[in-house]
Structure 1
Amino acid sequence: MAARIYQIPMNAMQSGTALTDKWVLEFEPSERRKPDPLTGWAGSGDTQRQVRMTFPDAPAAIAYAEKYGIPYVVVPTPNKGLKIQAYADNFR
C-alpha cells in the first residue's frame, strides 16, 4: 500500500492560485478497475483509492506517512511559469 505525496496543481481553467498551496497524500491503486457487467461503470474492490488526505505542507504529509509506516513517493511540483503578454499582442 504505497502512497503518493504531491502538491495540488493549478487547474487549466483557473487563473488564481487558490488551494494550490495544499499537499495531498493519495494511495496507489492496488488492483485494476473493471467494468461492472450490469451497469458498465468502472469499479474495483480497492477502498484505499477513496482516501485522499490534505496537509498544509510536504513535511507534514511525510511525517504522517512515516508515523504510520506507509511507503511513499514525493512527486516534485512543476515550475509555475506565467506567460506575460498584452492583449494587443493578439493583433500583431
Structure 2
Amino acid sequence: MATVVRIFRPAKNAMQSGRGTLGTWILEVEASAPIANDGLMGWAGSADTAKQIRLKFASREDAVSYAKRQGWTIRLSEPNERSIRPKSYAENFAFNRVS
C-alpha cells in the first residue's frame, strides 16, 4: 500500500501575535492503520509507526520533491491567505462606526 503524506503550511497559533514562523511547510504521514484501544490500560495505540513522522521544510517545493523521491502519494493543502485591511486608530472613534 502506498504511503499517503499531507503537505501543508500550519496556521498561526492563537497565543502568538507575530507571523515569523509562518513560512515553514509541514510534511506528515497519514495514518494507514486504525487506532485500537488497549483493554487493560485504556491507552490508544496502533501498529503504524509511520504516522509519527512530521518533517519541516522551508518551501513547498522542497517538501514535494522530498515526498516524490520517497515514492509517497502527496495530498497538498494550499494555505488560505489572510487579507489585512489597514486602518487607523482614529477609525475606532468614527461617528459612522459599525460595531
Do Structure 1 and Structure 2 share a fold, with TM-score over 0.5?
yes
Q: How does 1:7-86 map to 2 (within 5 A)?
A: 7-82=9-84
Bigger radius of gyration among the two:
2
CA–CA distance in structure 2, aligned partners of residues 33 and 82 of structure 1: 41
CA–CA distance in structure 2, aligned partners of residues 50 and 22 of structure 1: 18
CA–CA distance in structure 2, aligned partners of residues 73 and 31 of structure 1: 18
CA–CA distance in structure 1, aligned partners of residues 46 and 66 of structure 2: 26
Name 2:96's counterpart in structure 1. none
Q: Which secondary structure state, in structure 2, belongs to the residue aligned with residue 24 of structure 1?
A: strand
Aligned residues with identical type, % of pairs:
33
CA–CA distance in structure 2, aligned partners of residues 32 and 84 of structure 1: 47
Q: Could you list the structure 1 runs, at least 4 aligned residues long, displaced by more than 3 angstroms after superposition.
A: 81-86
Normalising by structure 2, we get a TM-score of: 0.77
Does structure 2 conserve the Cα–Cα contact (< 8 Å) formed by 1:24 and 1:54?
A: yes
Normalising by structure 1, we get a TM-score of: 0.82
Give the deviation of 1:58 after TM superposition: 0.1
Q: How many residue pairs were aligned?
A: 89
Question: 1:35 and 1:18, CA in 2 relative to 1: closer, same or farther beyond 3 A?
Answer: farther
